[in-house]
Amino acid sequence: MQFVVLTIFPEMFPPFWEHGIIRRAVEARKIVPSAVNIREYAPGRHHVTDDRPYGGGCGMVMKPEPLAAAIQAARRAAPGAKTVLMSPQGRVFDQTMARELARLDGLIFVCGRYEGVDERVCHDDIDAELSIGDFVLTGGELAAMVIIDAVTRLIPGVLGGEDSAEKDSFENGLLEHAHFTRPETFHGMRVPEVLLSGHHGRIEAWRRENALIRTFLKRPELLKERPLADDEAAVLKRWRRDIERIIQTQSADAQSLDGPGSLSGGQ
Ligand code: 4GY
């Protein structure tokens, strides 16, 4: 997959694709990344890429001509690629979108700076506006890296069986189960006994239950959109029974001598 990033700060990118799994993906030719300086497409001695906003106000706007020229050149270099603008006004990126993007031949990222990009470039030359979340960055570069990172690891053959994407948080609509490594005791906390048992069936059952309960506790909204398997419903019902039992025996009402069974009516 080809990634072309259009930016006025191309030096930000080599440190990103020269490390870890992204570097391995480059070496295996699974991805072909490049960062192109928009200034190369700005004419004149000063290669100016920004200008004052029509209507006045503070800040600068990215000029349309250099950006449009850079996009046309990137399109020729990466035929079949989609052109995306990184902006908080875009569709919010998630794992489902990452899976869709991982099927493309290429992506061209337009990274804005200053106050933004001239609206007419967006209108003519952008296929989609993407956001990585509801916050404002100083430029689109980090957002492009986030998307390249999440998409690259989903390209077949990029992750080995070791850390494959199937087990990820979100791939089954749940968060991942907890992880533990040596030592067996750390800060007084022991690794769950079942994980030391070598019993693969029980370990797998523990991990499924742990993933479900963690999702319920940390991100309950994720369970609302997702049908529950029969065994998952059974796990939640068992936790409900256990929680109800604790409430019954430990609540102030049950503890108080003047409890629910008393004749005083709590007076
Ligand atoms: N959030 N998701 C984001 C962003 C910076 C001014 C337009 C985001 O994707 N990009 O905050 N981008 C702005 C900076 C120009 C882009």
Q: Compute the distance between CA of residue 26 and CA of residue 3 in angstroms, rounded to an integer.
A: 11
Q: What is the pLDDT of residues 11-27, one digit of tens each?
A: 999 999 999 999 999 99
With CA atoms as reference, report the closest residue to 154 among 117, 200, 107, 191: 107
pLDDT at 266 over 60: no
Tokens 């007084």, residue located: 188
Long-range contacts of 215-220 (CB under 8 A, 24+ apart): 215/174, 215/175, 218/175, 219/175
CA of 120 to the centre of ligand 1 (A): 17
- The pLDDT mean for the chain works out to 94
Active site residues: 88, 115, 153, 168
pLDDT band at residue 225 under the 50/70/90 scheme: confident
pLDDT band at residue 215 under the 50/70/90 scheme: very high
Instruction: Report the pLDDT value the prediction gives residue 44, as an integer from 0 to 100.
Output: 97
Instruction: Report the pLDDT value the prediction gives residue 257, as an integer from 0 to 100.
Output: 66
3-state secondary structure 128-160: EEEECCCCCCCCCHHHHHHHHHHHHCCCCCCCC
Structure tokens at 241: 């029974």
Q: What is the pLDDT of residues 25-36, one digit of tens each?
A: 999 999 999 999
3-state secondary structure 229-259: CHHHHHHHHHHHHHHHHHHHHHCHHHHCCCC
With CA atoms as reference, report the closest residue to 86 among 44, 32, 128: 128
54 close to 77: Cβ distance less than 8 angstroms: no
Q: Are strands 189-190 and 185-186 parallel, antiparallel or unpaired?
A: antiparallel
Q: Compute the distance between CA of residue 174 and CA of residue 69 in angstroms, rounded to an integer.
A: 43
Instruction: Report the pLDDT value the prediction gives residue 169, as an integer from 0 to 100.
Output: 78
Q: Compute the distance between CA of residue 43 and CA of residue 37 in angstroms, rounded to an integer.
A: 13
Instruction: Report the pLDDT value the prediction gives residue 265, as an integer from 0 to 100.
Output: 56
Q: State whether the beta carbon of 134 lies less than 6 angstroms from ligand 1.
A: no
Mean pLDDT on 108-127: 95
Q: State whether the beta carbon of 137 lies less than 6 angstroms from ligand 1.
A: yes
What ligand 1 atom has the least distance to the C-alpha of 93? 2
36 close to 70: Cβ distance less than 8 angstroms: yes
pLDDT band at residue 262 under the 50/70/90 scheme: low
Q: State whether the beta carbon of 112 lies less than 6 angstroms from ligand 1.
A: yes
Q: What is the pLDDT of residues 146-194, one digit of tens each?
A: 999 999 999 999 998 766 787 787 878 999 999 999 999 999 999 999 9
Instruction: Report the pLDDT value the prediction gives residue 88, as an integer from 0 to 100.
Output: 98
CA of 126 to the centre of ligand 1 (A): 15
Structure tokens at 22: 């992204």
Q: What is the pLDDT of residues 40-52, one digit of tens each?
A: 999 999 999 999 9
Mean pLDDT on 119-143: 97
Phi, psi of 74 (to 5 degrees): -65, -35
Q: What is the pLDDT of residues 60-101, one digit of tens each?
A: 999 999 999 999 999 999 999 999 999 999 999 999 999 999
